[in-house]
Amino acid sequence: MNKHKLFGLQLYFSTYVMIVVVILFTSCRKFIEVDSPANSINEGNVYTNDATAASVVTGIYQTMSRENSDEFNATGKLANIYTGLGLSADELILFDINSMSLNPYYTNDLAATSAPGYWRNIYNTIYIANAVMEGIESSTSLTPAVKKQLLGEAKFLRAFNYFYLVNLYGDVPLALSTDYTVNTALPRFSEQQVYDQIIRDLEEAKTLLSSQYLQGDAMTAYANGAEERVRPTNWSATALLARVLLYTKDYANAEKAATEVINQTSLYNLETLDNAFLKNNREAIWQLQPVNNGIYANTGEAKFFILPEAGPGSANPVYLREELVNSFETGDLRKIHWVGQVPVGNIVYHYPYKYKIGLVNAESTEYTTILRLAELYLIRAEARTYQGNLNGAVEDLNIIRNRAGLPNIIAASQSALIDIISHERRVELFTEWGHRWLDLKRTGEADWELGIVKGANWQTTDQLYPIPDEELRKSPDLQQNPGY
């Protein structure tokens, strides 16, 4: 077995492949119903047939899904980043201040000496994506359609993970292969260089991925609209590309990409508020399918966020900030449908209620939603605003507002529309994949907004997380972020 290192990170690839394949073939869920391989999977033969190659990529999704259900949800796993970033921003309050894993996020007092956190886990997935690309590109025995799809999925996953890495840490090493000698000597690349690579990956993924949702074999489309929206499509890549282009202020192309997805009305439409997070609903562009059986058969968000009658405690240690709850306009149905409450004595605790099925021993009815159509309308509204198309921006905003039971707005000044978009993003995307934290940072509002709610705990250098000390010790070319 070959040992591979990535910035001091030791990862046994063959063991990982065997683990994800075992997970894959012991699950009973229909997305992953394929025949079990006859022999153990190893690095040398994993890409010699379609089923085992598809299983490696499927294993990445399954790992993300399992991480989504991890206890306390801020231990550095990308799939439960909604908690860590929600606490870092102004969305969540930590009830259990003795939580060693959550309190540093809540107080914006992360230490470089703490656990490796997101850095290590994100690079783990990037490494696997690189290995998949290398294995697929060198394979001569895969079905061309499967080879194309899996290569597109690997590029999409690498882009998705680098998007979060660059937003959490700023300049980061840009590892594009599994070559140990190259990776251990990589310096930090500028944010622009990382974004350029993300865009390249997503543009290539668009040309490789199917326009239809595919089954576990990465080849067969679902029939009669019964698709599982779990394998990314070219529309998933286009949706993420629209977000990235907005972040990099390429507004014309961000609008173009968002429009491409919005126009796919045979696949996508806004759902009612209560249906927006159900599995395979028509608003969903990319979801994670729960893989655990029994009481954890639904999402980690519901398990973690829904408060019991007794209120927050060690098992459910967070609740919504009043600043967020009070920011909803009168009559906003999102507050009614997406915010739950529990009275305990004289205190009313509010909690995210987008996912409604927590600890139930029942078939999954909800999937963790990573990309959904509402975000694309908000992306296009912002892109149009910055290009001076205020009427077009208002049209997009009113589509989102009308779904929430709110009246139309009228065209205002550019600055006024930007404020409205910021508000709509806050109340539409709260506690979803760190949107609020990322929005505050990219719009330059973090110091103002968080300085108010965090007080003396907040420093401008808190906008970037620290690189773990152990990674710095093992990779002398890396430099720590300011303030740590």
Question: Using an 8 Å Cβ cutoff, are 30 and 222 in contact?
Answer: no
Nearest residue to 470 via CA among 49, 51, 178, 113: 113
Second-level CATH architecture of 4-290+369-474:
Alpha Horseshoe (1.25)
Give me the pLDDT at residue 443, please: 98
Question: Using an 8 Å Cβ cutoff, are 138 and 177 in contact?
Answer: no
Please report, in tens digits, the pLDDT of each residue of the chain (484 residues total).
343 334 443 343 444 444 444 444 333 333 323 233 333 333 557 899 999 999 999 999 988 887 776 554 445 678 789 999 999 999 999 998 888 889 999 999 999 987 668 999 999 999 999 999 999 999 999 999 999 999 999 999 999 999 999 999 999 999 999 998 888 889 999 999 999 999 999 999 999 999 999 999 999 999 887 899 999 999 999 999 999 999 999 999 999 999 999 999 999 999 999 999 999 999 999 999 987 655 556 888 998 999 999 999 988 999 999 999 999 999 999 999 999 999 999 999 999 999 999 876 667 899 999 999 999 999 999 999 999 999 999 999 999 999 999 999 998 899 999 999 999 999 999 999 999 999 999 999 999 999 999 999 999 999 999 999 988 988 888 899 999 9
Nearest residue to 376 via CA among 287, 279, 274, 285: 285
For the record, the structure tokens of 51 come out as 């089923």
Give me the pLDDT at residue 185, please: 86
Give me the pLDDT at residue 65, please: 84
Query: What backbone torsions phi and psi does residue 112 show, to the nearest 5 degrees?
Result: -65, -20
Coil vs helix vs strand at 195: helix
d(CA 181, CA 421): 46
Nearest residue to 288 via CA among 337, 228, 244: 228
What kind and span of H or E run contains 165? helix 144-169
Helices (H), 234-292: 234-247, 251-262
